[in-house]
Amino acid sequence: MKIVNASGHFCVRSRILMRRYSSNWTLLREISDLDEKVLLKLDLEDWVPILEFINSFIHIDDVWSYKWYLLFIFGKLTHSCFLKNADVDPYLRKYIELTRLCNNGVLTGSVIDIGRRTAFKKNYIEWFIREIPNIESKSYDDYFVVQLLESISDYNCTTKQSRIEIPDWLLEDLQRIVESPNSHFIGSIVKILEANKDVQLSDRLLDIWFPSYSSCEVLCRLLKRNPEKVLSNADILVPNMVNDKFRSYSYFYRKCRLYEQYGIPSKIISNCLLTLERKSPEEMGVPEFRNQLNTKSHAVQTLGILQDSSTYLKLCSEHSPSKQKIEENSKEIQIEYGVQRGICKSLAHVSSPLDTLPLLPKFTGGDYLKVVCGSLVGVCVRIPENVILPILEQWVDCPVSLRKHVLRLISNIAPIDTSIATFQKMFRTEKNTSLRLVLFIQVRNTFIAEPTEDSYKTFASIVHQLTEDDKEILDKLFDMNNVHEAYISRYVELLWQLIDSKWKNVLPKGKKTMIKSIDKHVFKFLSDSVCDTILEYELSSNLPNTPPSNFICYYLMCCSDKIRRGRLETVMAALGDSIKTHWNDLNRSGSGYAFPIRHVVSDIVESLCIESKNVEEPAKASLLLSDMKNSLLEYVGMADVLKESIWLDVYSLYLSQKGETNFASRLADLYNNYIQQHWNNFGYPLIDHLKSVHQRFAIDQPIIVSNTKLALELLTNHIHPSCHILATEILSSDLTDEEEMPMFETIIDLLSSSEIPQVRASAACYFRNLQTAIALTPHNADASLLQAVH
């Protein structure tokens, strides 16, 4: 039997894999790779040889690796049966038989996937419900049961008109799974029920798992539909909920407050109080200790939601800490500490937040502070501003660990003018560096959010007050991304002056760090005087041994034509002095570049070229690159900057021809001009330079440059042998682009007919590489091209 792939051929990797496996694997793979539309159009008679082939080896071969192919093949076969209104039963039975064979005689959940993405999902599910119990007793695992339940649930949720009823045998299996102490699928069943919106299905399944397993989502749904059922099972539900995490049921507790008429909140409150009053046994093992710790903490948080404020706060006062530090480590003290932590977390839930203020200070120190912070914020933001602000201002005079949070609260609650004035006043006298950091961040955030003249002056006054001890604050100053454009130049100038004076010792590399943080966006808003100051430092501190940063590229490109020429003269004057003095200086240190200034020049040229791609006005950038080349040649000869000259000319041409369709022709003319003018002087190194620059340019601009088209231009429109050699150097052996095949054929004909020995030698090398590439991808290669290469 011959299977024809609809796509015409397989990729190389697939073919390599096929050689590693048996022919059975290969053929199943080819069948699976057929287009779905092709398979569905097959007549049932056309499937007979495929099924015969599967039967011929499935009982004797290693069938595990075929499982997913069987799922695909039988999925399309049965789908085709449904489309043609044919009898699907024998094929599904065969699929079940083969799938069990793949899984040691047991059906697993993946079987259900056969109809998941078809229009006949219901037909598949109903067949499984009807036939699976009749095939063989206990021939499926728990995963199969869970997946079948999920499929029924999903279908009923998406289709309101035609529901699928859950069968009794599936309910029995679900009951068995829930009651099994070692089952791993209870959580999966509960998740299905949580997501399920089918009321009838939920009602049938409820008695299986309720009240032993009850999630918050299901309880809230039940609370709305049948609150009496929640109340009647409260003695089982509440202990289970209290044993779980508080967050898992906090939403349910809030909903319960609406059902006081049924007595549900009172029932939960009484159970939580009993939990708190329960005495700990004298000797506790680790499980009992953890249970006591978790349940009492959970219980007190639950009471914070359900009890009235006065009653709950009275309970909290009874458990308020006498000491801020937990010195002893007995289990009783740890359990009490757990209760106190629960109180800290729950104060924000109290319905009357103003009543909690007298209690909060008792929990705002030592081991409790970190836990109470959330409640501190939650309580304060719910109290009117005119009431809470005076209290917070009194709390400012408190331990450092609490003061940070009070300051943040003042920032969030108070009007901006009030908070900024408070912080500015505190910053003058505050000595603690961590608190100074908090104050600085609040003032800076205000300036970033509302960049006004007043907010900038306030921020600048804080910056002036920074000392060498504020190292963490100083590091944050270099982040300029969010500074408003109207203040960037003044901001940079302020920092530059302070780094140059009072911060010189603590920030010895501050200027370099600042220059690195200046990107193109920031540079646009710097004044000319600030730019000139930074450039002077860049050139004086780096030359002749270290290339300047990208700042020099922004300096030359991000300006008007009138200013650009003067800036280029400034840069070249500084660079020219180093070129004249150090061009031939050899670095004998054993590290770094042999001729540092030559590397500096090369680095500047390359950076300029790469940055020029993204400018808004390419014509002006092209002119800059041309001027840069002319300026360089005033100091050194072409022999010293041949590669740099090629860089500048290639990118200048690209910028001037941006959007043109004949770029390949113009680039070929440029390469030909270099060869015509400089071949006699430089020989093959010229080709090496042209090749390396072009390869980098082609990587940067793969859409603009077609190596095949460029090579064809060099071969057809230029007669110099070196142009033909360069064509073979830049050609790719990747034959993935079908549109370029005719050009490849022409190129091969031209190279094959050349009578110049150097060109023929270079062409022979290229042909060997091309022949290797074609051998690896025989189905991608055009027959005529393959014949031409051979």
What is the per-residue DSSP string for 572-625? HHHHHHHHHHHTT----SSSS-SSHHHHHHHHHHHHHHHHHTT-S-HHHHHHHH
Looking at per-residue confidence, does 229 or 327 come out higher?
A: 229
Coil, helix or strand at residue 326: coil
Query: Which residue, 114, 109, 49, 107, is CA-closest to 82?
Result: 114
Coil, helix or strand at residue 140: strand
Give yes or no: residues 476 and 578 share one domain: no
Residue that terminates a domain, selected from 481, 508, 526? 526
Give yes or no: residues 465 and 568 share one domain: no
Query: Which residue, 39, 133, 135, is CA-closest to 78?
Result: 39
For residue range 72-103, list pLDDT tens digits in order: 788 888 888 888 888 889 888 888 887 787 77
Alpha helices, DSSP H only, in 450-487? 453-464, 471-476
Q: Assign 485 a pLDDT band (cuts: 50, 70, 90).
A: very high
Q: Please list, in sequence order, all residues whose beta carbon lies within 8 angstroms of the beta carbon of residue 299, skipping any fewer than 6 positions away.
A: 242, 271, 272, 273, 275, 276, 342
In Å, how far are 459, 492, 746 from 487, measured between CA atoms?
12, 9, 61
Contact in structure between 717 and 681 (CB atoms under 8 Å): no
Give yes or no: residues 621 and 715 share one domain: yes
Q: Assign 776 a pLDDT band (cuts: 50, 70, 90).
A: low
Give yes or no: residues 491 and 541 share one domain: no
In the 8-state DSSP scheme, what is residue 162? S
Q: Is residue 488 domain-resident?
A: yes
Residue 683 has what pLDDT?
92
Give yes or no: residues 568 and 488 share one domain: no
Coil, helix or strand at residue 184: coil
Coil, helix or strand at residue 291: helix
Give yes or no: residues 456 and 555 share one domain: no
Domain tally for the chain? Answer: 2
Residue that terminates a domain, selected from 495, 510, 526? 526
**Length of the chain in terms of residues written:** 790
Q: Is residue 586 domain-resident?
A: yes
Q: Is residue 458 domain-resident?
A: yes
Q: Is residue 780 domain-resident?
A: no
Coil, helix or strand at residue 731: coil
Q: Please list, in sequence order, all residues whose beta carbon lies within 8 angstroms of the beta carbon of residue 784, skipping any fewer than 6 positions away.
A: 745
Q: Is residue 474 domain-resident?
A: yes
Give yes or no: residues 538 and 640 share one domain: yes
Q: Looking at the DSSP assignment, which residues form a beta bridge with residue 107?
A: 140
**How high does pLDDT run on average in the chain?**
84
**From 240-254, 294-308, 363-377, the region with the lowest mean pLDDT:** 363-377
In Å, how far are 221, 553, 564, 683 from 614, measured between CA atoms?
57, 12, 17, 34
Give yes or no: residues 695 and 547 share one domain: yes
Residue 57 has what pLDDT?
62
Q: Is residue 200 domain-resident?
A: no
For residue range 173-211, list pLDDT tens digits in order: 888 888 887 778 887 887 887 777 666 777 777 777 777
Helices (H) and strands (E) in the chain, counts: 42, 0
**What is the average pLDDT across 588-604?**
89
Give yes or no: residues 674 and 605 share one domain: yes
Query: Which residue, 733, 684, 689, 696, is CA-closest to 711?
Result: 733
Distance, CA of 303 to CA of 273 (rounded, Å)? 8
Give yes or no: residues 601 and 699 share one domain: yes
Coil, helix or strand at residue 263: coil
Residue that terminates a domain, selected from 723, 749, 765? 723
Tokens 């069990």 sit on residue: 100
Q: Is residue 314 domain-resident?
A: no
Q: Assign 403 a pLDDT band (cuts: 50, 70, 90).
A: confident
In the 8-state DSSP scheme, what is residue 641? S
Query: Which residue, 207, 199, 192, is CA-closest to 147?
Result: 192
Q: Please list, in sequence order, all residues whose beta carbon lies within 8 angstroms of the beta carbon of residue 52, skipping any fewer than 6 positions away.
A: none
For residue range 202-254, list pLDDT tens digits in order: 777 777 777 777 788 878 888 888 888 888 888 888 888 888 888 888 899 99
Q: Looking at the DSSP assignment, which residues form a beta bridge with residue 140?
A: 107
Whether the pLDDT of residue 679 is over 90: the answer is yes
Q: What is the pTM of this model?
A: 0.62
For residue range 21-77, list pLDDT tens digits in order: 345 556 667 776 666 777 777 788 878 887 777 776 665 555 556 667 777 788 888
Give yes or no: residues 515 and 554 share one domain: no
For residue range 538-568, list pLDDT tens digits in order: 988 888 888 888 999 999 998 888 899 999 9
Question: Cβ of 99: how many Cβ atoms within 10 Å?
Answer: 20
Give yes or no: residues 571 and 508 share one domain: no
Whether the pLDDT of residue 16 is over 70: the answer is no
Q: Please list, in sequence order, all residues whose beta carbon lies within 8 angstroms of the beta carbon of residue 715, skipping any fewer than 6 positions away.
A: 723, 724, 727, 747, 750, 751
Q: Is residue 621 domain-resident?
A: yes
Per the structure, the complete domain to which residue 712 belongs is given by 533-723
